[in-house]
Amino acid sequence: MWKGSMAFQDEAAAKLLSSDLNELSLAAHKLADHAIKLGGLGFGASFFGLIAAIAAIYLLILDRTNWKTNILTALLIPYIFFSLPSIIFGVFRGEIGKWIAIIAVVLRLFLPKHFPDWLELPAALILLVVVAPSLIATTFRNNIVGVVVCLIIACYLLQEHIRASGGFRNSFTKAHGISNSVGIILLLVYPIWALVVILF
């Protein structure tokens, strides 16, 4: 009789455990559905913002190497400012960015021979992030104004790149034109996706 009640308890415990696991599975499924509905498009905008910022940094590096272009790469600095994900932006806006900025300013002012030319634009970006007023750094960055600025910059850079390459076809067929074209097209993805998220 004791063995029968033990088997009954094991069976009841197994049913209870199975029921709990089913409820947990259902709750996890609902959580995933709601997370995708609420944050899916926003996460995509953050992800594409990171990809766009990396593409802009890549284009800055290309411009500083032997693959010089005729495009105005200084426009990549405000683009990176507006497209950088909030977590990374917050790190550079805090104490770390202040220290980097002060070191860059001291090197530029007192040791200009030891301050390479290729550090001018990255130092300008750090200074821009650190000293930007909160209206620009928080309000404009996180709404349609920043997205429109990024879209205008990306369209202008694409148009200038196509013109400098000698046409649309040449911008995708020349050896170093392909890498620049891909980088600039990646710059276009973030503002277009962010506009879709904001408007819809």
Which residues, including other chains, have CB under 8 Å from residue 89's CB and lie 6 or more apart?
Answer: 129, 137, 141
Arithmetic mean of pLDDT, 110-135 = 88
Report how far residue 75's alpha carbon sits from residue 176's, in angstroms, rounded to the nearest whole number: 20
Structural domain harbouring 102 = 47-199
Q: Hey, what amino acid is at 14?
A: A
Among residues 194, 178, 200, which one has the least CA distance to residue 52? 194
Domain count, the chain: 1
| 30 domain-assigned | no
| pLDDT given for residue 85 in this prediction | 85
Cα 23 to Cα 57, 62, 100: the distances in Å are 47, 53, 51
- Tens digit of each residue's pLDDT (9 = 90 or more) over 23-70: 767 776 675 566 555 555 556 667 888 888 888 888 888 776 655 556
| 2 domain-assigned | no
| 13 domain-assigned | no
* pLDDT tier at 154, thresholds 50, 70, 90: very high
| 101 domain-assigned | yes
Arithmetic mean of pLDDT, 62-91 = 80
Q: Which residue has the tokens 């090197």?
A: 107
| 26 domain-assigned | no
* pLDDT tier at 197, thresholds 50, 70, 90: confident
Mean pLDDT score of the chain: 80
- Tens digit of each residue's pLDDT (9 = 90 or more) over 127-149: 999 999 989 888 888 788 999 99
| 53 domain-assigned | yes
* pTM score, whole prediction: 0.73
Among residues 154, 183, 194, which one has the least CA distance to residue 49? 194
| 60 domain-assigned | yes
Arithmetic mean of pLDDT, 151-161 = 90
| 18 domain-assigned | no
| pLDDT given for residue 80 in this prediction | 92
Asked whether 76 and 60 are in contact (CB, 8 A), the reply is yes
| pLDDT given for residue 180 in this prediction | 80
Q: In this structure, what is the dihedral angle of CA atoms 149, 193, 61, 165, given to the nearest 10 degrees?
A: -80
